[in-house]
Structure 1
Amino acid sequence: MEEQKRGPGRPRKVAGQVARWVPPEGWSRLVAWVSPEEKLALKRVAVEAGVSVADLVRSLAGGLAAGVVAPEELIDQVRRGTTVMEKIPTLFERDGDFRVVDRPRAECAWVFAGEGAPTEKVDGTNVRLTVRSGRLVRVEKRRNPSAAQKKLGIVDGWYADTAEGAAEDRWILAAADGTDVTGWPDGEHPCEALGPRIQGNPLKLAEHLCLPFDREAPVYEGVPRSYQGLREYLAGLESRFAPGAPAEGIVFHHPDGRRAKIKRKDFPKSA
C-alpha cells in the first residue's frame, strides 16, 4: 500500500527557524534520569495540579528557595524514594491522562456487588496511636514493603516507632500531641494524621490532629456505586470533618479488611 504523505503542520512564525524557549538570565538546566514508573508518577501529580512536569519541579525548587517548603519535610521522602507504597486500589481503570474511565477494576468487584461500608477519605499520613488509661504512650507511622521485599513475598505493611526530635516525624508527633485521647479505650488505634504541614492540608485545618478510623469514621448512607453516580455524588459532597470544605473522596471498607477508593479529582473535568 502506498504510504500517504502528511500535510503541512502549523506554519512557523519565522520560516526556517525552529521555535525555542529562552530561559531567564542566570537560569541553568538540571537533568535527572527517572524510571518509567517515576515519570508516570510525576506526570500524574502534574495533571492533578494542572501544570507541566517542568513547572511541578520548578515549583518545588521555588518553594525550597523561598522557605515555603522546609528541607526537613523532604528528607524522609528522599530516603524512602525507592520504597513502593502499598496503595488502596482505585475503583476504576485510568486513561492516559490518569483520569478514571467507566471500567471497574476487577479487584474492586466486591464494591459493585454492594459489599463494604463507605466512609470519607481524608488525605493525611497513616499512623497508629497506643493509649493506656486515657494517655498517649506510643506513636507509630506506617511502613510498606519495598519492591525488593515484595519479591520475597512480604506484601503487608507494618508500623514503625516515631522518634522525638526526628525531623521526618515532627508533624506526625505534632498531630498526636494535638489529639485528645482522654476518652479513648486502652488499645492501638489506627489514625490519619492531618494538619497544616501534612499532605498540603486539603481540609484547611488550623491545627494538627489525628483522626481515629475506629472512632470517628462515620458511614455514609446511600452512596452510589456506579461511575456516573459516584461522579455526581462526589462533586457536591461536603467533608464531615471540616464542614464547608469538599470531601476528597470515599473509601469502601470490606469486613475482611479489603479497601477501595475513589476521589473527586479522579474523574475528568468535562463530561
Structure 2
Amino acid sequence: MTRGRPRKDPSTLQRWTPPEGWSRLVAWISPEEKKALKHVAVEAEVSVADLVRSLASGLASGVITHEELLGHVNRGKQVMEKIPTLFERDERFKVVDRPRAECAWVFDGDGVGTEKLDGTNVRLTVRSGRLVRVEKRRNPGKEHKAQGIVDGWYVDTTADPEDKWILEAAGNTDVTAWADGEHPCEALGPRIQGNALGLDAHLCVPFNTDAPVLETAPRSYAELREFLAELDSRYAPGHLAEGIVFHHPDGRRAKIKRKDFPRSA
C-alpha cells in the first residue's frame, strides 16, 4: 500500500481550511439516527458529513426538489414527535375541557378522524413489494427524560423473544401492493397488548390507509366523551374502539382515547 504525502511538519496535525463563506452545521442526534445515517453513508461509500453535504448540494443544484424533501421530512417528524392528545390533562393525568393549542385545527373542523387501533406501534419498510425492514417504537425512559429526550423513536426488531409477535405480524401482512418507503403501522393480534380487538391472527395495519374512517366523529369535549364511551370498533365489530386519531392534510395528527377521560363528571 502506497503512503500519502507526508505533512510538512510531522509534529503537528494536518488542518483543513474551509473555503471562504462556508459555515459549520452541528446537530444532536440519537444513536439510532446516527446508525441509520452511517448505514446510508456506507452504501454510498462516503462519510456521514459528505452524505449531508450531498443532500444540501442536491437541493442547491435542483437535483432534489424541495417538495420531494419536504415529504420525507414530514414523515420523519411524524416518527419523532409523539401524537399530541386533544386536551390538557389534570393531576390525575385525565383530560379536562381545555383544548391544546397545537390541536386547534381539529376544533376548527379540519382533517378527518380515523379509528385508533389498540396494538403496538411499528414501522415497515417496503421495496418493490417486499418487506425489507421491521422496526418498533421505543419511548423514552426516566434516564432519557432526565436528558431532555421526550419524543419516541424507532429501533430495529431482533431475534429476541420480545419481538417474536411483531415479526409474525409483519410476516403475515401483505405488502405487495404497498408503495416503496417507510410505513408506520399498528401491530395487532392475540399476543400483542392483550388483543383488545379479539383478533385470531397477528398482522400490521398502516395508519393512513387501512384504519377505518370515522366520518361522524364529534370534536367537542363532551361529545367526544359520550361518543367514545360506546364506540364500536369498525375494524373488529363487537369490541370497543380505543380512540380516534385526527389527520390533517399537511401531515399533522392529534389523538384522543376513551380511557383519557375521567370515569365520572
Q: Which residue of 2 is the match for residue 124 of structure 1?
A: 119
Q: Percent identity?
A: 76
Rounded to whole Å, the distance in 1 between the matches of 2:230 and 2:211 is: 19
Give how far 1:107 is off.
2.9
* 2:80 is aligned with 1:89: no
Rounded to whole Å, the distance in 2 between the matches of 1:189 and 1:103 is: 32
Provide, for residues 87-135 of structure 1, a one-character-per-residue CA deviation record: whole Å limited to 9, x for no partner.
4322222334433222222332222122232111112221111223332
Question: Residue 87 and residue 186 in structure 1: after superposition, are their counterparts in 2 closer, same or farther (change >3 A)?
Answer: closer
Amino acid at match of 1:90: T
SS in 1 for 2:193: coil
SS in 1 for 2:175: coil
Is 1:86–1:145's contact at 8 Å kept on the other side of the alignment? no
Provide, for residues 124-152 of structure 1, a one-character-per-residue CA deviation record: whole Å limited to 9, x for no partner.
22111122333222211223556776787
Q: CA RMSD in A?
A: 2.6
Matches within 5 A, 1:240-259: 240-259=234-253
Amino acid at match of 1:159: Y
Amino acid at match of 2:209: R
Question: Residue 112 and residue 204 in structure 1: after superposition, are their counterparts in 2 closer, same or farther (change >3 A)?
Answer: same
TM-score by length of 1: 0.60
Q: Which residue of 1 is the match for residue 129 of structure 2?
A: 134
TM-score by length of 2: 0.61
Rounded to whole Å, the distance in 2 between the matches of 1:119 and 1:230 is: 13
Give how far 1:236 is off.
2.5
Q: Which residue of 1 is the match for residue 171 of structure 2?
A: 177
Provide, for residues 184-217 of structure 1, a one-character-per-residue CA deviation record: whole Å limited to 9, x for no partner.
2333221111112212221111211100123202
Matches within 5 A, 1:1-271: 87-144=82-139, 157-163=152-158, 165-271=159-265
Give how far 1:262 is off.
1.1
- Identify unmatched segments of 5+ residues in structure 1: 1-84
Rounded to whole Å, the distance in 2 between the matches of 1:183 and 1:259 is: 25
Runs of 4+ in 1 over 3 A off after TM superposition: 95-98, 143-158
Rounded to whole Å, the distance in 2 between the matches of 1:100 and 1:190 is: 26
